[in-house]
Amino acid sequence: MKTILIAEDEPEVRNYLRLALTCRGYEVEFAQNGDEAVRYVQNGRDRFSLALLDILMPQKDGLEALREIRDICPSLPVVMLSGASAPANIVIAMKYGASDFLSKPVGHDELCRVIERALPVPVSNLPRLVPAPEFHGPMTPPVGTWSQRVEQLLRSIGSSDVPVLLQGETGVGKEVLARKLHGRSARAGGPFLKLNCAALPSELVESELFGYDRGAFTGAFKNTPGKFEMASGGTILLDEIGDMDFRLQAKLLQVLQDREFMRLGAKEVSRIDVRVMAATHCNLEDAITQGRFREDLYYRLNVIDIQIPPLRDRTDEIIPLAEFFIRTHASPTEPVLEIPPVLRTALLEHQWPGNVRELENVMRKYLILRNASTVATDLRASANRRAGRGTVPHPSPDKEHITALPSRVREPRQLPPPAAPENGISPAAPILEHVDYAHKAAEAQAIVDALNSCLWNRKQAAAMLQIDYKALLYKMRKLGIGERKASATA
């Protein structure tokens, strides 16, 4: 059984990592900081199969620990974990010899995939990704004209093996469609890998795509396959291809033409058997005119060009998709929420700059708040802010909905009501105070509901609310959430 050393100072993250990795059959040992991690490796360098180091730790940080561990045990794979996924940190970590890099919060599948990829096994015995079945995403049911066109498209080109270029705004479902095309193809039993060309510095994209041999650069301590090699027999999606470094585009063109490549530092050519799909939110023809994208690469990728329309042009799908997301994210123990007319109207009137992804987030918010008027008002307020017309105040939410919380929940501090106006005159200031009061009460209720739904795991609640963990702690202190229970138990 393989043992993984984890250096992480946050107890909640440690608990999550222990659960996630022990469920996959790994043994786990913990270090509180970088100094302790280095001592563990010194005292038992053959005991660990892999080290997982957080970058931000007290005393010695993860990058310093990584450098010392590399001197002690150069062959030990090390994966870096950090909440601050700055490109500089990634470059430094790779320079010091990190095998891979994970950004918090990390999902279970991504964590296990990266660890399995980093473990020192022969390339021929690399763990194969689970074959990707046909992807059932938001566009699965033919809910509208566009989805019906997608079904026709899948029937006509799904079984082919030609390159596909997916173009459309952010959030329209490019990856969803790519997975569906993969699931309908003869490669459905092979892996589906995605590389976001905009998420990594240009210095790392080449090594991620083509891999590298030991000694290719400082920190290359073992042969490492790239995405093309790992996706053999399957499909690779080059997301945000329009942001790929111009110099790397020439090498990618050669790979697509010759179906062969060389790892960094290698002396032998490798053959590939991969279907290539590319996705972008950019207008590639404009990028060609501006000299940012190679015209020959564009025509090599553009065998089949699929233009995915934005959600605002697919209004017949908005309500069916909203209902789909409610069913997807609702708790199985609770009745499915209906979409009342006030929210239905707001959904149809909204322009959806974030497209299907934005719609999914709005419906998740509705499941948390359970207040259709508040969600509808927020939609209109965000549209007004973008249009530069100011904001629309929240309506006063139902008072009973805000304060009638279950006794087992840590209740938010009861906010004092705004002062009554003098002489019966209601100036502007008290009106704004009422709006502010209603806003804070609704915010407190949303936080408490999120905390309660995940058993008061603040990390999970922050991810559910889609805010930073530290921002959640600040809001909890500001709104007094948990103070009542703390004072009662003191």
Q: Per-residue pLDDT averaged across 88-93, rounded?
A: 67
In a domain, 150, yes or no: no
Give pLDDT, residue 288: 92
In a domain, 290, yes or no: yes
pLDDT of 215 over the 90 cut: no
Please tell me whether residues 346 and 358 are part of one structural domain: yes
Please tell me whether residues 190 and 213 are part of one structural domain: yes
Provide the domain limits for residue 439: 401-490
Give pLDDT, residue 347: 94
Please tell me whether residues 336 and 421 are part of one structural domain: no
In a domain, 435, yes or no: yes
pLDDT band at 388 (very low <50, low <70, confident <90, very high): low
Please tell me whether residues 166 and 303 are part of one structural domain: yes
CB-CB contact of 213 with 264 (8 Å): yes
* C-alpha–C-alpha distance, residues 261 and 208, integer Å: 13
Task: Reply yes or no: is the peptide bond before residue 309 cis, omega within 30 of 0.
Answer: no
* 341-349 helix and 372-387 helix, angle to the nearest 10 degrees: 20
Please tell me whether residues 338 and 304 are part of one structural domain: no
Please tell me whether residues 433 and 340 are part of one structural domain: no
Of the residues 253, 288, 308, the one at which a domain ends? 308
Give pLDDT, residue 481: 83
Give pLDDT, residue 86: 55
In a domain, 126, yes or no: no
Cβ-count burial 43-82 (b if 16+ within 10 Å, e if not) = eeeeebbbbbbbbbbeebbbbbbbbbbbeebeebbbbbbb
Give pLDDT, residue 165: 92
Question: What tens digit of pLDDT does each residue of 433-473 get?
Answer: 555 666 677 778 888 878 887 778 888 888 777 787 877 88
Pairing of strands 304-307, 192-196: unpaired
Question: What tens digit of pLDDT does each residue of 231-288 get?
Answer: 888 999 999 999 888 888 888 888 888 888 888 888 888 888 899 999 999 889 899 9
Please tell me whether residues 276 and 352 are part of one structural domain: no
Of the residues 308, 327, 342, the one at which a domain ends? 308
In a domain, 35, yes or no: yes
Tokens 């015995």 belong to which residue? 125
Please tell me whether residues 463 and 408 are part of one structural domain: yes
Largest CA distance in the chain: 89
pTM (whole model) above 0.75: no
Please tell me whether residues 338 and 266 are part of one structural domain: no
Contacts of residue 323, Cβ cutoff 8 Å, sequence gap at least 6? 339
Greatest mean pLDDT among 198-207, 266-275, 309-318, 393-402? 309-318
Please tell me whether residues 348 and 254 are part of one structural domain: no
* C-alpha–C-alpha distance, residues 62 and 144, integer Å: 50
Closest to 51 (Cα-Cα) out of 118, 10, 17, 6: 6
Helices (H) and strands (E) in the chain, counts: 21, 12
Number of structural domains the chain divides into: 4
Please tell me whether residues 440 and 427 are part of one structural domain: yes
Give pLDDT, residue 349: 92
Of the residues 245, 280, 308, the one at which a domain ends? 308
pLDDT band at 344 (very low <50, low <70, confident <90, very high): very high
Please tell me whether residues 381 and 424 are part of one structural domain: no
Domain holding 277: CATH number?
3.40.50.300
* C-alpha–C-alpha distance, residues 167 and 280, integer Å: 5
Give pLDDT, residue 57: 80
Give pLDDT, residue 157: 78
Give pLDDT, residue 433: 54
* C-alpha–C-alpha distance, residues 68 and 61, integer Å: 11
Domain holding 74: CATH number?
3.40.50.2300
Contacts of residue 390, Cβ cutoff 8 Å, sequence gap at least 6? 384
Question: What tens digit of pLDDT does each residue of 17-52 get?
Answer: 887 788 778 888 888 888 888 888 888 767 888 888
CB-CB contact of 144 with 316 (8 Å): yes
In a domain, 136, yes or no: no
In a domain, 284, yes or no: yes
Give pLDDT, residue 423: 46
In a domain, 77, yes or no: yes
